[in-house]
Structure 1
Amino acid sequence: MTASKLVLSSVAACAMLLCASLSARAEMTFKVVTLGDPAKCGAKCPQAVAATGDITVGTAESFVAFLHEQKFGNLRNVILLHSPGGNVYGAMEFGLVLRKLKIGVIVAKAESVDSADSGETYMLPGRCMSACVYAFMGGVKRLVPDPSAVGIHRMSRPQYGRNPEGRGAVPLRNFASDDMVNGLRAYSASMGVSPDLITTAEQYAPDSIHVLSHAEMMKWHLVTPNSK
């Protein structure tokens, strides 16, 4: 078993319970998009996978199944990632799959323009927030073009406890244990990203997002050199 798999095994029970996202959203979906103007590049237009939505414990498996259905052709080893976050364990599993398949990741959103004379897809600014960062770490190359954004915060799962005064439920927070945080630090290091990113994320309130500057992403090796 690899070091990364050992990390996942050690934190799985806790991570399955901690959903590092601000609210429930649509589950991540995948589609192949054509980059460039077909009127100019025709059948030679490069293609990439656009991944959009919430990361769940089944995202990695869904992605592998999606790839098995593709004919590839001009499909490049590139994912356009746009996600508000999701399940921490699912994001790490997704990141491991991306690394195993040697896929590069660009934080961007794909939008197609369908008209009589064009089927071009544009890369619009994307967001990779909360648990999405752990999936992003899996890219062999990691790009965050301006003005796309990557954001971090403390992991937590909202829950409700019994009000001792008997007047309904009291909102509570379930935070990551030290073992979980250390597991994420080990995962981060195995992806070539500084564990200090995890330590910093845990300093921000779970209901807020700290958007990383390009300098921070470079300092912690979250983006690969010469990327912005």
Structure 2
Amino acid sequence: ATPAAPVVKEPEPVPPYVEAALKRKRIPYWAMSALAFLPLWGILYAQTLSAPPVTEATQLIAGAEVYTGNGCSGCHGPTGGGGSGRPFADCAVVKTFPYIENQLEFVKLGSAGFTGQPYGDPNREGGAHIGGDFGQMPAFGATLTDAELLEVVRHEREVLSGEVVPEDQIDTGSPTEERLWPNGEPMLDSAGVLIDPEGEPLFDDAGKLANPEASISAGGEPAVCE
């Protein structure tokens, strides 16, 4: 008898996803080594990027932040128009404190440091201001650093009240455009401590002015407004 012919199986159809994979262009072998180094190149490139320079805020810009961030605007108004605290606008604060060191002392000690006593200019137009006769001004000596104290006082005087500071009393060459004494000496030492025109601490241990006439002794004139 003649043997039966072997049955030839037809090839199974290739699934579409397999066929697509076979037809897809493969990455050349030479490119594989280059791709392996991509993460390393990314790290090296990132290290070559320099961070943008950090600019230091000027004393006046920093002073505005201190003013809004420590409740000053809540009592004296965002623009110095007053409220539960005295107004600063229209030269009001400069009339009270013709010399900046007296305002620095008052903000440091608060009205409690002058209860029943005149502060600032005793010959102020409209009468001297008495500690405690217009609400209670908090003491900020324990809350603010000396640098912040100067910053916020400058904001109140120069921005809100309109004090015109002589050009030679602003260090325009420094990043923070620091306020200087009338004799050109800095008001802050390298440690950020308030000092008088002779380089001595501006305040004594009780927080009072050690040299109440610092500006006058340095040849300064009473402040004026625009």
| TM-score clears 0.5 | no
Normalising to structure 2: TM-score of the pair?
0.29
More strand by share: 1
Larger helix fraction of residues: 2
TM (norm. structure 1) is 0.28
* Structure exhibiting the larger radius of gyration computed from Cα positions: 2
